[in-house]
A and B are shown apart, each in its own frame.
Chain A
Amino acid sequence: MKFNQDTITALCLLVVCGVVFADTFRMDPAMFGQMPATLWPRMILAPLALLSVLLLVNAQRAEAGDTPCKSLSEWFSYYKNPIVCFFLFFLFLITMPIMGMLLGGLAYVFLTLSFLGGWSRAKLIQHALVTLICVVGMWLIFTQALGVFLPEGILLRVY
């Protein structure tokens, strides 16, 4: 069996189909004359599983060497930017109750800018200015002009 990208994708899809399909058996039966909650998902899962098998077959038939295999470190270095950006966004969300939208946003945008653009002194000053103008500006528009209650966070909360 060839373990190329499409093969792994197809296998993952089949696992998802299996897990979700199994979960449909835990749902309550429908009342008389009503559509059961399981019908529509099963109608989706059947062709999805079928097409995943087709993808698997196609992946097995595909010529080898279309996409060279990457080692884990090569893969990480290839996707470094998005991975770090996602991680920073994750941190932004997880620290939201403490930092709030304003402080969290400032930290998130500054760190993302600096990670993507560089850490030289001139760049840091530029990034700090961009962060300050864009984040504070937008925070003011939302809170003052549009009247949206954004999360304050524990650090900025005024009792």
Chain B
Amino acid sequence: MELFGNIALAAPELFTLTTMALMMLGTLVGLLAGAIPGFTIAMAVVLVLPFTFAMSPVQGLATMIAVYVGGLSGGLMSGILTGIPGTPSSVATTFDGYPMAKSGRPGLALGIGVWSSFFGGIIASIVLMLIAPQLAQIGLEFQPVDFFALVIFALTVTASLAGDQMLKGLIGGLLGLLIATIGSDVVFGLPRFTFGIDQATRGFAFLPVLVGLFAFSRLLNDVRDPSSAGQKLGGDAQTTVVHIDYIHSAKVVLKRYVNVIRSSLLGVFVGVLPAAGSTISNILAYDQAKKSSKEPEEFGKGAVDGIIAPEAANNATAGGALIVMMALGLPGDIMTAIMLGALLVHDVIPSPSFISDEPTIAYSIFLAFFVANFMMLGLQSLTLRGFVLVTKVKMYMLTAVILFYCALGIFALNNIGYDMWTLFIFGVLGFIMRALGFPIVPIVLGVVLGQIAETRLSQVFARGDGLDIFLTRPWALFFILLSVFSIAFPSYQKLRGIADWTRYFVPLLMIVLALPVFMMPGIIRPIIAVVMALTGIVQIFMIVRAPKAAG
């Protein structure tokens, strides 16, 4: 009942003519940005961010969420019509969307993609509204040491997702943390690592750092090759306006509701994991859909399930990422890091008590995510015409103009030129790091999470807790153990089915994690811990008993 009460509180704030108009505009911008190959959703949100400074927190955040949702769905247009995914989150959509479009059914392929995105988003927003407040309740149990351990976990997972580049991912994460220490220390405000430069005592505002490292360096990377800089955004493929077959495609998608629900839930789960994001969820969902399909041989040739799975999953991932950001105040990816920045600009500081302290803003965000999916559904057809026009723009034109917009937007953040210099310095750094093969996401998350980590550590220190607190606090131990396993995860993934030890990885993880879960208060969690431990032990027993060839 509290849920409906809070929704009723937030609805009048959100459902105003201005906010709805802004959201529609945001969805349109997101759809177009998502459709442009090489132009990421994060860049679209970054560009929209300065316009939200003059808005109320609800209006600003609703607009940004609309861009986010639109961007996630926009990628399917270019993926299906040109075979070039608009965003990394639509890569798997092209596997079957493009063949279906080529076989003369582009309207149906687009319709399936649009409806799947819609249902994925709706399922995720329901899960978001139900889970985020509960997770925030758990978050209230967190002490500074638990938050510190959670940040460490987020960084190790981010680095481990860099795969073969894990070493560089870890170095990147640590570099990000180091960058966040420049300026002044969080306890006394004493200058630190300023090397005699007075202005450096301000430190670096994280939005200019984020835009520099991520967007600025990416844009210049895109125009490094003169031939690709001069290419049209849509490539050489001729794109024509097609009509989306809404009614028939809705029936087709609803018939495959199991795939829609499974892919959406998978998307939410991946979104909850730090740094995983829709880039991973769309591929995972596609893989799962193929494995559970009765006609796996049809995948890659225009299978309906092959379009449903990635599109439902990538939209649902946004809901998962928002769950953690809203409930714990910790951004898990670039998008939620920007969202966090936007919240801070409006003097709203997300934390576990955020949802209960600021129910109007929190539930407005939930509702905005829900409403944006309806807008996306309605605006896809309209955007298709814009998309055909935008694909004719050349890459270098977009780059030059957006670099200027980045500078303008970053200046508007605090009205100081220093931020533009920060943008420039981190643009150069980001470009060099990319060229050297360092993944950018761990660096960005390191910068964003660095100050949170130091603040929490100083609180641990001030409380006089010893180092043993990491072993005696259940949540801290839980995240530390997860961090250790996440470091081993890339090796597990690489050697699964080859090395013998990989068979014990998951059962061992369950047994080890059962310990901190058992230490948690209440009755339910210790019972879950016993079940986890028993399951792990049984699995190990079965592996030991089973003949080696079966493994």
Contact = CB atoms under 8 A, between A and B. Distances in A.
B167 A54 contact: yes
Contacts of A73: none
A92 B71 CA distance: 31
B6 to A, nearest CB: 31
Contacts of A116: 223, 226, 229-230, 396, 399-400
Contacts of A141: 51
Nearest to B181: A41
B501 interface: no
Contacts of B195: 23
A159 B321 CA distance: 51
A136 B454 CA distance: 43
Contacts of A149: 415
A27 B171 contact: no
A37 B185 contact: yes
A35 to B, nearest CB: 4
A91 B428 CA distance: 14
26 contacts: A9-B436, A23-B195, A28-B190, A33-B461, A34-B458, A40-B181, A40-B457, A41-B178, A44-B177, A48-B171, A51-B170, A55-B167, A81-B223, A89-B427, A109-B404, A112-B403, A113-B396, A113-B397, A116-B230, A117-B394, A117-B396, A139-B408, A146-B53, A148-B50, A151-B411, A151-B417
Contact of B462 (A34, A47, A80, A147): A34
Nearest to A10: B171
Interface in A37-78: 37, 39-41, 44-45, 47-48, 51-52, 54-55, 58, 78
Contact of A44 (B178, B187, B421, B435): B178
Contact of B400 (A34, A93, A112): A112
Nearest to A49: B174
Contacts of A113: 396-397, 400
A52 B174 CA distance: 11
A121 B462 CA distance: 67
A92 B407 contact: yes
Contacts of B549: none
Contacts, number: 162
Given A34-B462, A116-B229, A150 B181 contact: no
A18 interface: no
A150 B225 CA distance: 33
A25 to B, nearest CB: 12
A109 B401 CA distance: 6
A96 B417 contact: yes
B22 interface: no
B410 to A, nearest CB: 11
Given A116-B396, A142-B408, 18 more contacts: A9-B436, A23-B193, A33-B462, A35-B457, A35-B458, A35-B461, A39-B457, A41-B181, A55-B168, A55-B171, A81-B225, A82-B221, A85-B399, A116-B399, A117-B396, A135-B404, A138-B408, A148-B412
A138 to B, nearest CB: 6
A15 B540 CA distance: 47
The range of chain B's interface size is: 35 or more
B420 interface: yes
A125 interface: no
B405 A138 contact: yes
Interface in B144-203: 167-168, 170-171, 174-175, 177-178, 181, 185, 187-188, 190, 192-193, 195
Contacts of B230: 116-117
Contacts of A30: 187-188
A156 interface: no
A59 to B, nearest CB: 10
B464 interface: yes
A154 interface: no
A108 B178 contact: no
A61 B514 CA distance: 40
Given A37-B188, A130-B401, A142 B412 contact: yes
A23 B181 CA distance: 12
A37 B408 contact: no
Interface of A: 5-6, 9, 13, 20, 23, 27-28, 30-31, 33-35, 37, 39-41, 44-45, 47-48, 51-52, 54-55, 58, 78-82, 85-86, 89-90, 92-93, 96, 101, 105, 108-109, 112-113, 116-117, 130, 134-135, 138-139, 141-142, 146-151
Contacts of B220: 81-82, 85-86
B444 to A, nearest CB: 16
Interface in B311-362: none
Contacts of A55: 167-168, 171
A109 B404 CA distance: 7
Contact of A146 (B412, B427, B458, B462): B412
Interface in B412-462: 412, 415, 417, 420-421, 424, 427-428, 431, 435-437, 453-454, 457-458, 461-462
A9 B461 CA distance: 34
B491 to A, nearest CB: 15
B253 to A, nearest CB: 39
A147 B436 contact: no
Given A27-B190, A41-B192, A81-B224, A93 B396 contact: no
Q: Which of A5, A44, A48 is the most central at the interface, judged by chain B CB atoms within 10 Å of its CB?
A: A44
A146 B177 contact: no
Given A35-B461, A81-B223, A45 B178 contact: yes
A34 B223 contact: no
Nearest to A105: B404
A89 B223 contact: no
Identify the 7 closest CB pairs spanning chains A and B, nearest first.
A37-B185, A116-B396, A35-B461, A112-B400, A82-B220, A35-B458, A48-B174
Q: A82, A105, A138 — which one has the most chain B CB atoms within 10 A of its CB?
A: A82
Query: Which of A96, A105, A117 counts the most chain B CB atoms within 10 A?
Result: A117
A40 B454 contact: yes
A20 B193 CA distance: 7
Contact of A89 (B193, B403, B464): B403
